[in-house]
Structure 1
């Protein structure tokens, strides 16, 4: 796919296939690696018995694909490890009786306080109903040159109560984004439209990308992948929840890059703000975001 050619590999990952040990490679790039370690999403964790031996079958996932791993040492199995969570693993590729397999040699649960170190590149592609939209989202993310904005996007998306919902939630309950995965489709469609303007600097472009990708992030808490409005969604407008979800990351942004967070706040709220307490005019970013948001819903976007 064209856009995938722009990907960068996080955490200093090397794709030199002669290397026998690599940290956090994309799973799709591990075929020739003898040994590697990293943090991946656990989609399957099954206890089995074969040849009178008790072992576990694990399925790891990231944004590039999946990998089946086998664990034969019960010391690695902890009660708090289960499918649907991130785990830290180290694996080696082995061959027995002419059969090649990947064996787990270290396995640990991912601690909640380490959340800030997760990257959207670690999102499980197999869990997204619209995987090509995830590819586009990651491409937009990797094009962001302002590191504080990229870090901000990562921190918001990788919150445990946000990440999976962002992959699976609908964009609405009525229009053509009203299906599982519609939210991420609508978000990248809006981002694609907003960067179509050619008169902004790279900082303004990066702000526009982040504003577009996160403008409806509140919907992760108001609608489910079953196309049902949540209890919270019946009480609170998703736009208010967008600011709540981004609150911690915005506070960090205020310390690292004063001004950028305020521009995002304005872009997300100015359309419904009381003119008596705020600037009477929307910023250019806010106007364009509002226009592209509406256009995304009125025009059916087809991903190539």
Structure 2
């Protein structure tokens, strides 16, 4: 069955016909009768859709995670594209099984195996203290944990909310923390990098993954910070890691959201915890910017819609033009340029 329209190609005042995953579904009541509020998703993104009365009355249930064929007309509502559904047909199990899942599930733009190989290579390079190395290898030698970590999304929305998102985000934070440790050698480099490696590990159990990625029951009740500490416990017991380092790692995980109102169990109370918090926040924000700017598409549209999570719209600024090869940093100056530089230096010395 052909995919039809992709979310990224749906624009205001256009018709849309295609296969989508129902990632959210809720009933509401308007003056004209009951309606359905849906989120329809595919590999390119997601959008809100409404089924108004009387069509809404034809559906007693719309299952989250189901694949549907939807047809309708797109419009703008509060600066966001919204689809008014005119036809909706849930696919049977047989039809759903025949659909190309890659067309319906967004994934990291980077190869998952390459990212995992790089992350594990960095662990072997960085963890010189035997217990840290033993902890990392113990976790990632567990085939079930390794497989789940490889494909797990890092969020339900906003940033890295796709297959491989957790791996991509963890690698990004690990890279940032290496650079931070280079800049500030007073930091405990290996503890900071262990925090980067495991700060979001609990998301493996916080999210269901799959077509209808959603919070699990334990994800809603405990959250990935608590789940991460719980998941590491048996590996820490076998690692031989000193008790004070174990305690510091747990603090890094429990405090990396920065503030209590943003989900932190504790505020960061060590220099390493502060560094991890800002690295985590920066990587998440940059991924969000990348996603938002990719959605802008055409030239001339440089402002995003209002972003509630940021409290502002974002502007895609013009980039600095690429310099000619001769003037790039590191290029060998010409004889005339050398003379001009010499004369400039002499004039400065005379001042």
- After TM superposition, the score normalised by the length of structure 2 is 0.44
Structure number with larger C-alpha Rg: 2
- After TM superposition, the score normalised by the length of structure 1 is 0.50
